[in-house]
């Protein structure tokens, strides 16, 4: 392994779906144990950036490294966990229990030569325990509240035992209290288990307390550093007077006046 502890290295990454560039010359590095918050307006390219890192979209060769290896060569995808935006689009309300959903998280760890075993059952139990929904495991996923469902998706990805966790606006359709609890949970996993976390969120305010680093993304990377130094002018430029659709929370203008906790 070259370059010690870097988990994600992005260098000069540009991307477009069509003619119009969506990301331009992004460079950043995420170290092991970091808790990175990615913020930006709708259409700023946050989801696109995650998908590039995950290999769901084709990144230009040589721009992205995971765990020190070029993305093109990286095969140990099970080390990377992903909770996607609007995770709840299970087709046609297909019935499944929480335990069945969470068990899917083990699939990347299985193979024809390593079928389901007691270690997998233990990992599923541990994941359910970590997000405190053990007692819901027999329940149908459709009978849960938004916050409980969100925990189920987190449990599924935790069952995978990833070293790096990428979450794309995971608190969609969750009330502010459940959201705060959820972020607290992430912070705990980050601090106690050393899990590297990249969290996409709609604004700084909700995640400033948990994250150790912040990336402001609107096509270009406008800021990358500790949240305390992410100043008001940067946020002004980031949102450039745009209104931001807070998924699941209706419309609100950004940046919100109370954000930015001064310089620490």
Ligand X SMILES: Nc1ncnc2c1ncn2[C@@H]1O[C@H](COP(=O)(O)OP(=O)(O)OP(=O)(O)O)[C@@H](O)[C@H]1O
Q: Which of 45, 105, 147, 255 binds ligand X (CB under 6 A)?
A: 45
Name residue, tokens 């541990």.
126
Judged by beta carbon, residue 56 or residue 110, the one nearer ligand X is 56
Closest CA to 86 of 26, 169, 10, 178: 169
Q: Rounded to whole angstroms, what are the CA distances from 132 to 50, 121, 148, 180, 200?
A: 27, 16, 9, 15, 23
Long-range contacts of 134-139 (CB under 8 A, 24+ apart): 136/98, 137/97, 137/98, 137/99, 137/102, 138/97, 138/98, 138/99, 139/97, 139/98
- The interface region with other proteins, picked from 106-114, 200-208, 209-217, 237-245 by CB under 8 A, is 106-114
130-154 b/e (C-beta count within 10 Å ≥ 16 → b)? bbebeebbeeebeebebbbbbbbbb
- The interface region with other proteins, picked from 14-22, 23-31, 87-95, 249-257 by CB under 8 A, is 87-95
Fill in the DSSP letter of residue 142. G
Any contact of residue 78 with other proteins (CB under 8 A)?
yes
Per-residue string for binding with Mg ion, 12-51, x by CB under 5 A?
-----------------------------------x----
Name residue, tokens 């994250």.
211
What's the token pair of residue 122? 């233990």
Size of the residue set binding ligand X (CB under 6 A):
11
Least Å distance, CB 100 to other proteins, is: 5
Any contact of residue 47 with ligand X (CB under 6 A)?
yes
Any contact of residue 119 with other proteins (CB under 8 A)?
no
225 makes contact, choosing from ligand X, Mg ion, other proteins, none, with CB < 5 to 8 Å by partner type, with: none
What's the token pair of residue 165? 């966790």
- The interface region with other proteins, picked from 102-110, 228-236, 238-246, 254-262 by CB under 8 A, is 102-110
Tell me which residues in 75-114 interact with Mg ion (CB under 5 A). Answer: 85
- The interface region with other proteins, picked from 14-22, 105-113, 192-200, 243-251 by CB under 8 A, is 105-113
Any contact of residue 17 with ligand X (CB under 6 A)?
yes
127 touches 102 (CB < 8 A): yes
Any contact of residue 252 with other proteins (CB under 8 A)?
no
Return phi, psi of residue 124, to 5°: -65, -45
Least Å distance, CB 156 to Mg ion, is: 20
Closest CA to 85 of 52, 51, 132, 41: 51
Chain residues that interact with ligand X, rule: CB under 6 A: 17, 22, 40, 42-48, 85
Chain residues that interact with other proteins, rule: CB under 8 A: 54-56, 75-78, 80-84, 87, 90-97, 100-101, 103-108, 110, 112, 116, 140, 157, 160, 162
């Amino acid at each position: 392994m070259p370059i010690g502890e870097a988990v994600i290295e992005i260098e000069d990454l540009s991307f477009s779906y069509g003619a119009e560039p969506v990301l331009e010359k992004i460079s950043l590095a995420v170290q092991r144990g970091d808790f990175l918050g990615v913020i930006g307006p709708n259409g700023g390219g946050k989801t696109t950036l995650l998908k590039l890192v995950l290999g769901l979209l084709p990144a230009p060769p040589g721009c992205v490294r995971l765990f020190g290896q070029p993305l093109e060569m990286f095969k140990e995808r099970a080390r990377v966990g992903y909770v996607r935006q609007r995770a709840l689009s299970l087709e046609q309300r297909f019935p499944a229990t929480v335990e069945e959903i969470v068990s899917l998280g083990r699939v990347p760890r299985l193979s024809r030569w390593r079928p389901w075993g007691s270690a997998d059952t233990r990992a599923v139990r541990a994941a359910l325990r970590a997000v405190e929904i053990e007692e819901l495991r027999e329940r149908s996923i459709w009978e849960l509240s938004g916050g409980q469902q969100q925990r189920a998706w987190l449990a599924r990805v935790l069952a995978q035992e990833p070293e790096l966790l990428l979450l794309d606006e995971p608190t969609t359709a969750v009330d502010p209290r459940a959201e705060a609890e959820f972020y607290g949970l992430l912070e705990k996993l980050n601090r106690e288990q050393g899990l590297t976390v990249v969290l996409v969120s709609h604004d700084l305010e909700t995640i400033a307390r948990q994250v150790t680093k912040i990336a402001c993304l609107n096509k270009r990377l406008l800021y990358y550093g500790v949240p305390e130094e992410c100043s008001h002018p940067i946020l002004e430029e980031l949102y450039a007077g745009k209104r931001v659709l807070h998924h699941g929370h209706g419309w609100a203008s950004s940046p919100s006046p109370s954000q930015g906790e001064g310089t620490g």
